[in-house]
C-alpha cells in the first residue's frame, strides 16, 4: 500500500498537466501513487499523461462529470493510506508530501493542512493565516467557529493530506450543482475527524487565472453556494447546523461582493434565508469586528450592506 494517493482531476488540461504531474513525480516522498482522472477531455490531455514515463502514474478516463465526480473516481481507485488532491493547473513544492506525511505521523492527525501560495499574473502572496499547531476537535461547532468560519481551516482540499480511514465513505458532491464541492466536503469532513495539524509553510502553488473554476460567473457561483448551504444545513448534525449558518453568513457575504451590483446579490442580502444565517451567526463565538459586520448585515439598509460587503469582501477577514 502506498503511503499517499495523489489524485489529479483534469479536464482539457494539455497546457498545464505535465507541469503539474512533474511536480508530483519529483516529490521527496517516493512511496506514492499518482491517479490522474481524465474528466472527458477533448484535447490532448490523455496523450500527454500516457507519454510520461513513471510507473506510479495511473490514468483513468471517464465521461465529463465535473471535478468532484472525477475526484471520487480517484478515491475509489486509490490504495494509499492518505489522500492528497492536486488540481491540474497547479503544482506542489517538492517536499510537500514528505513534510505533511511526517506531520501526520508525528501528531496522529487525521488531516494535515499546509499553506497556499497564490500566483497571479502580477506576482504572488501567501493565502492563509500562518498557523503551526495541532488542534483536537472535541467540540465540532466550536472548531467550526474558530477555524472554518474564519478560513483558518481553508475550504480547499488541495492543500490537505487526509487520512483515508477517517474519510470513510465520504465523497464529493456535484461540482456543477454546488460550485464549491471542496467547501461542502470540508464541512462534512469536520464531523469525521478528531485532530487537525496546520503547517504554516506555503507548500501548494495555486495558479490564479480568469479561466479557473474559482472565476466562474459570480451570479452562478453565488446561486451554487446558496444551494450548498441550504442542503447541508437541512441535513447537518444538530451540533453543526448553527455553526454552518455562521460559515454561510460569512461566505455568502464576501461572495456577494463579487457581484454586488447584480439582482442576485441584492435578493440574497434582503432575503429571509440569509437573515436567518446572520441571526444564528450572532449567537456564535465571533469577534467584535465580525459581530459589528453581521449586525449591519441584519439591520442596515441595502445600500449600506452593499458598501460593506465590497469593503469586507475577501477571505481571511477576522
Residues paired with residue 4 on neighbouring β-strands, in sequence order: 32, 82
| Selection from 116, 118, 109 nearest residue 136 by Cα | 109
What does the block give as the cell for 249? 453568513
Residue 211 has pLDDT above 70, yes or no: no
Quick one: angle between helices 238-256 and 272-281, nearest 10?
120
Q: What CA dihedral angle connects 12, 18, 19 and 24, to 10 degrees? A: 110
Mean pLDDT value across the chain = 93
Distance of CA 303 to the CA centre of its chain: 31
pLDDT exceeding 70 applies to what percent of the chain?
A: 96
What are the sequence ranges of the domains in the chain? 4-213, 217-312
pTM above 0.85, yes or no: yes
- Phi, psi of 32, deg, nearest 5: -135, 160
Model pLDDT for residues 42-100, shown as the tens digit of each residue: 999 999 999 999 999 999 999 999 999 999 999 999 999 999 999 999 999 999 999 99
Cell 456577494 belongs to 256
144-193 pLDDT per residue, tens: 999 999 999 999 999 999 999 999 999 999 887 887 899 999 999 999 99
* Distance (Å, whole) CA 60 – CA 34: 11
- The DSSP string of 194-208 is SEEEEEEEEEEEEE-
Q: CA neighbours within 13 Å on the CB side: how many for 245?
A: 22
Q: Which residues pair with 195 in a beta bridge?
A: 136
**SS3 breakdown of the chain: % helix, strand, coil, rounded to 5?**
45, 20, 35
Selection from 84, 127, 79, 122 nearest residue 103 by Cα = 84
Q: How far apart are CA 243 and CA 187, in angstroms?
A: 10
CA 125 from chain center: how many Å?
18
Residue 37 DSSP SS3: strand
**Domain at 4-213, CATH from 3.90.1150.10, 3.90.550.10, 2.10.70.10, 3.30.70.330:** 3.90.550.10
Lookup result for grid cell 506542489: 92
Amino acid at each position: 500500500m502506498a503511503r499517499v494517493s495523489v489524485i489529479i482531476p483534469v479536464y482539457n488540461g494539455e497546457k498545464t498537466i505535465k507541469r503539474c504531474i512533474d511536480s508530483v513525480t519529483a516529490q521527496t516522498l517516493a512511496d506514492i501513487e499518482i491517479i490522474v482522472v481524465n474528466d472527458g477531455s477533448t484535447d490532448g490531455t490523455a496523450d500527454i499523461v500516457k507519454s510520461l514515463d513513471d510507473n506510479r502514474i495511473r490514468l483513468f478516463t471517464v465521461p465529463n462529470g465535473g471535478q468532484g465526480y472525477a475526484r471520487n473516481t480517484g478515491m475509489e481507485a486509490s490504495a494509499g493510506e492518505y489522500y492528497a488532491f492536486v488540481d491540474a493547473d497547479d503544482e506542489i513544492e517538492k517536499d510537500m508530501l514528505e513534510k505533511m506525511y511526517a506531520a501526520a505521523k508525528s501528531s496522529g492527525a487525521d488531516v494535515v493542512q499546509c499553506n497556499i501560495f497564490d500566483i497571479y499574473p502580477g506576482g504572488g502572496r501567501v493565502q492563509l493565516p500562518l498557523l503551526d499547531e495541532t488542534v483536537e476537535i472535541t467540540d465540532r461547532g466550536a472548531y467550526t467557529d474558530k477555524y472554518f468560519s474564519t478560513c483558518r481551516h481553508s475550504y480547499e482540499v488541495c492543500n490537505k493530506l487526509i487520512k483515508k480511514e477517517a474519510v470513510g465513505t465520504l465523497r464529493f458532491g456535484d461540482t456543477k450543482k454546488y460550485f464549491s464541492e471542496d467547501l461542502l466536503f470540508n464541512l462534512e469532513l469536520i464531523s469525521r475527524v478528531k485532530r487537525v495539524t496546520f503547517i504554516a509553510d506555503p507548500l501548494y502553488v495555486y495558479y490564479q487565472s480568469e479561466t479557473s473554476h474559482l472565476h466562474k460567473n459570480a451570479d452562478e457561483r453565488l446561486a451554487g453556494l446558496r444551494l450548498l448551504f441550504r442542503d447541508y444545513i437541512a441535513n447537518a448534525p444538530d451540533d453543526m447546523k448553527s455553526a454552518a449558518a455562521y460559515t454561510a453568513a460569512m461566505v455568502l457575504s464576501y461572495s456577494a461582493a463579487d457581484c454586488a451590483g447584480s439582482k442576485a446579490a441584492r435578493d440574497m442580502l434582503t432575503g429571509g434565508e440569509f437573515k436567518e444565517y446572520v441571526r444564528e451567526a450572532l449567537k456564535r463565538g465571533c469577534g467584535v469586528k465580525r459581530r459589528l459586520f453581521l449586525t449591519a448585515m441584519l439591520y442596515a439598509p441595502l445600500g449600506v450592506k452593499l458598501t460593506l460587503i465590497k469593503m469586507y469582501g475577501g477571505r481571511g477577514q477576522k
